[in-house]
Chains A and B, each alone.
Chain A
Amino acid sequence: MATDRRPPTGGVVPRRSDRSPWNWLLLVPIVVPLIVPLYNRVEPTLFGWPLFYWLQLAFVALGVLTTVLVYRATRRSPAEQAAARDAIARDTARKSAARDARRDGER
């Protein structure tokens, strides 16, 4: 396991953090759907659906909205996102080249 004790390649590792006050928003769609007394009722109905059913389905939208909001608010800069895309493209090209070389070698 000796190789595992240090980063596998050289270079400077940037210090990053996932911390953000926006993350606290994620608690809302975790806590609200678990408060059963909030929705264990029939009235008001919606299109014939008891509250129990339509409100819980509406919580899906709550979850989507919150995660989208947190994602957008904590999104990385366009330059960083471009760097990630470039890294994917670079590795993909490298792998294709390696496969081509391997295939040529097999012939």
Chain B
Amino acid sequence: MDGVNVVELSIVIVLFLVVTVMGFVAARWRRADDLMHLDEWGLGGRNFGTWITWFLLGGDLYTAYTFVAVPALMFGAGAAGFFAVPYTVVIYPLVFLVVIRLWSVSHVRGFVTPADFVRSRFDSPTMALLVALTGIVATMPYIALQLVGIEAILKAMGVEGELPLIVAFVILALYTYNSGLRAPALIAFVKDTLIYLTIIVAVIVIPVKLGGWDAIFGAAEEKFSAGTGAGVLLPATGQLGYATLALGSALALFLYPHSITGLLAASNRDVLKRNMSALPVYSLALGFIALLGFMAIAAGVTPIGEDGNTIVPVLFQEMFPSWFAGIAFAAIGIGALVPAAIMSIAAANLFTRNIYKEFLKRDATPRQEAQVAKVVSLVVKLGAVAAILFIDPQFSIDLQLIGGVIILQTLPSVALGLYTRWMHRGGLIAGWVAGMTAGLLMLYNTPRLGPDGTVVREHFGGSSFALSKLGLDAASSVYTGLLALAANLLVVVLVTLALRAAKVSDGVDGTADTDYTAEREDPTFRELPDPLESAPPGGERPARR
């Protein structure tokens, strides 16, 4: 183990052990909650108050991969990487009114997944299956990418081999299995404390060492002005792509099953509304994290090997004493665990409720379901490890790119469905097929260009689609997901009109108008089961004691 930084590694291991203990204790607390007064903290049975929801959603939405990949993008592509800021500003006012409707209807009808809602709203197990499959396919590579964050810090510390990665994820899998959603909720406290500490120190210390912000932006200006570059600004042709990527990503984020799992754990509507105001604090942090990419340019950081994701860890090593670099690395590593845990729970719920119970074993008992969900949450994580170790990580990155585009195709049924039932279930299915086909075709036909304009890769080279390929006389490109969504919506409208004209039955709405505005104190409110101990809507619920 030559070249291993012992101080950094020790600190990372100690902090990792701390959160491991916390992950297991989370389950114990639940069993002995009357002793530990955990309910007073509001941490029992999906009753998360404002603070816990803030930590949980923050830990869930702003992942380790974001913290590593966004500065890497700034390092490599300049201003375009800053889209993460408008993306995470726009999202909260955008979903402010939407998430409370989803929360209400879910708590009245007992929905745990977005597919549960679609099934009941549109009376369509098929559309629900499509929503569930889309969610699982979009989430799996996202989990795998969390490992890329851990890999980056391991590389920086000089740790060789794949064993540490496997150990970290096996431990994560075990305590999620053991403690469910409580484990990530508890660990999120540690993660965010470490992340905020790291950012505050980085934003104060690094500019001082590099000679001020002028020098940092100056170095970036110099790097990106070469040739026909636009320096630290966007080129004229890049502006439409920037805005559409920010908007499309914002529309997609709360369609991901793990976001919805986090949302539904809130104890009431006010908690969610307050969080829509409080979560942007993370966006501010993300803005500073993005600028770490420019700091790396000014500091002359070179990535380890070809891996651009290592620039932040390397920057920390050059700028901080070993002990603090260790804390920063632990922040990134633990930051990978929280979203990975919630994502695997969300994927397991989708499989259990909308595939297993619906299509494989209709008469499954709640006990069998809980067991299946737990096992699936394990399989999902092991699958993620296998994907990173045995398949080229580039495969996961490609898949995640696709993930954002395909999850957007569930917007008509999941998000618009909260407001209107005008869409016919047949129209939604046809629209989904059209959106998926269009999205995948466009991604397939997007080459990746090198800095000199030559084609580096033929296919899946990025998520902005050149308008010139659609026959438009424009040099701009647009986020592929939005174009695919437009195709989707168009087909939804046309097919719905046709089916309505043909008087094809559109089933029975399983929800009532009043469901969407239900409050916590209403007689219709019901507690949702724990994510890993769930019975599907309409199934038997345990008798109240």
Contacts and interface: CB of A to CB of B under 8 A. Distances in A.
Contact of A70 (B96, B517, B524): B96
A92 B108 contact: no
Interface in A63-107: 63-64, 66-68, 70-71, 75-76, 80-81, 83-84, 86-88, 91-92, 94-102
A26 B97 contact: yes
Interface residues of B, number: 71
Interface stretch (B65-73, B265-273, B321-329): B265-273
A23 B233 CA distance: 33
B307 interface: no
Interface stretch (B17-25, B81-89, B373-381, B453-461): B81-89
Interface residues of A, number: 69
B235 to A, nearest CB: 9
Of B85, B508, B523, B527, the most chain A CB neighbours within 10 A belong to: B523
Given A16-B519, A83-B521, A84-B521, A29 B93 contact: yes
12 contacts: A12-B523, A16-B517, A26-B97, A34-B243, A42-B231, A50-B232, A53-B232, A57-B85, A64-B278, A83-B519, A88-B520, A95-B45
A92 B521 CA distance: 13
A98 B545 CA distance: 6
Given A8-B108, A40-B239, A48 B92 contact: no
A34 B240 CA distance: 9
A76 B277 contact: no
Nearest to B278: A64
Interface stretch (B139-147, B209-217, B396-404, B429-437): B209-217
A67 B277 contact: yes
Contact of A91 (B47, B101, B518): B47
Contacts of B247: 34
Contacts of A42: 231-233
Contacts, number: 194
A56 B34 contact: no
Contacts of A3: 538
A40 B233 contact: yes
Interface in B474-527: 508, 510, 512, 514, 517-527
Interface of B: 33-34, 39, 42, 44-45, 47, 79, 82, 85-86, 89-90, 92-94, 96-97, 100-101, 108-110, 120, 212-214, 216-217, 231-234, 239-240, 242-243, 246-247, 267-268, 270, 273-274, 276-278, 280, 283-284, 287, 291, 508, 510, 512, 514, 517-527, 537-538, 544-545
Contacts of B217: 48-50, 53
Contact of A67 (B85, B92, B243, B521): B92
A74 to B, nearest CB: 8
Nearest to A98: B545
Interface in A2-35: 2-5, 7-18, 23, 26-30, 33-35
Contacts of A76: 270, 519
Contacts of A28: 93
Contacts of A96: 33-34, 39, 44
Nearest to A48: B213
Given A18-B100, A40-B234, A52-B79, 14 more contacts: A4-B538, A5-B508, A15-B514, A16-B518, A18-B101, A29-B90, A29-B92, A33-B246, A52-B232, A53-B217, A63-B92, A64-B278, A75-B270, A81-B270
Contact of A59 (B33, B85, B239, B538): B85
Contacts of A11: 522-524
Contact of B239 (A9, A13, A36, A80): A36
